[in-house]
Structure 1
């Protein structure tokens, strides 16, 4: 009886294995272009490109627009800066160049690797619009980038995307509007989400490209950023052939 039972079990397993071995691989049935888009998304998930999710995700449309109004002390700093004839950021804070703390040793590859390692340590941190800039338990997009540079290198950058972009515009020795020029550790800035297609952005003139989102470039077409609650807080996404590529406005280094 034991032999009969074992024979039946082995036959069932063989049938199952043969059946699985003949299942078509969905990736191989796709075109090369489709593979290039879908395979990288499976490194995380496809939430940032899922229209059923993104179309109803208010935080993607808003970004961190308006966050600066949460910080009233800027008015005092603005008056002080004006009296000293300092250059001001759009929010009224004085423009002050930040540099890595010399007591922090650069990792192999330079300070950029300090930034990348710190950024990745926050993967999955929840998204909160207007998050507390003194508490790393939640982030919006600009709080995330600021906290990464502050934690990794003691570089205190402005507190929202628009003002971090102004900082890069004013002080970066390497800035660009072509995403292909991005290098590891750069800050990347994006306009508001309007859809998943290139056609949703091509007709916009510069005045319509308000910067409302940002992240840190990892290289190989990847960005680490915090976009919204629905997309999962701090995450890694591929940018090319997706709305992040179409939304790109400015990039630059704050380490050069």
Structure 2
């Protein structure tokens, strides 16, 4: 086999590998919490970290801040890479009304849509799992210490 043919075969094989690997990465990042299996995986992963301590800026698994927790849970459960901060997670995902929340949706808190300071993951029945000063806990999305600004569905 001549060297030009060998180079062509190697180039085609390399291009095919890059194409198929790239497609897998894109498909992986388009996952969302719309199915019950995906939501169950997210909630199971989040439950595995109940009680883990809160540390500002921490991304797990031995400690978390709020957005580090949601980022970690989505990555571990679904292979989805969320943005790092609560504000960036709010800005980069499709907004949904609080009335149409599904398990696995993200819920956001702060003084306004431009000033998001906290994020949690909705688990149904008006509750979320989040990382806050008491660690990773389950709590109501409606409380006197949080101002619910909005919600978003990842990947929709």
For the aligned pair, the TM-score class normalised by the smaller chain equals: 0.7 to 0.9
Among 224, 240, 243, which residue is 2:144 paired with?
Answer: 243
The answer to whether structure 1 residue 221 and structure 2 residue 126 are counterparts is: yes
- Relative to total residues, which structure has the larger strand share, 1 or 2? 2
1:186 is aligned to 105
CA distance in 2, matches of 1:255, 1:220: 22
TM-score when scaled to structure 2?
0.73
**Residues 189 and 248 of structure 1 are in contact (CA less than 8 Å); yes or no, is this contact kept in structure 2?**
yes
TM-score when scaled to structure 1?
0.46
Gaps of 5+ in 2: 1-27
How many correspondences in the alignment? 128
1:127 is aligned to 54
Gaps of 5+ in 1: 1-96, 101-105, 193-205
SS at match of 1:243: coil
**Residues 141 and 148 of structure 2 are in contact (CA less than 8 Å); yes or no, is this contact kept in structure 1?**
no
User: Deviation of residue 252 (structure 1)?
Assistant: 1.5
Residue deviations 1:22-61, cap 9 Å, x none? xxxxxxxxxxxxxxxxxxxxxxxxxxxxxxxxxxxxxxxx
Cα distance 1:109–1:118, how it changes in 2: closer, same or farther (>3 A)? same
Cα RMSD of the aligned pairs, angstroms, is 2.5
CA distance in 2, matches of 1:126, 1:109: 28
User: Deviation of residue 145 (structure 1)?
Assistant: 0.2
In the TM superposition, structure 1's runs of 4+ consecutive aligned residues that sit over 4 Å from their partners are none
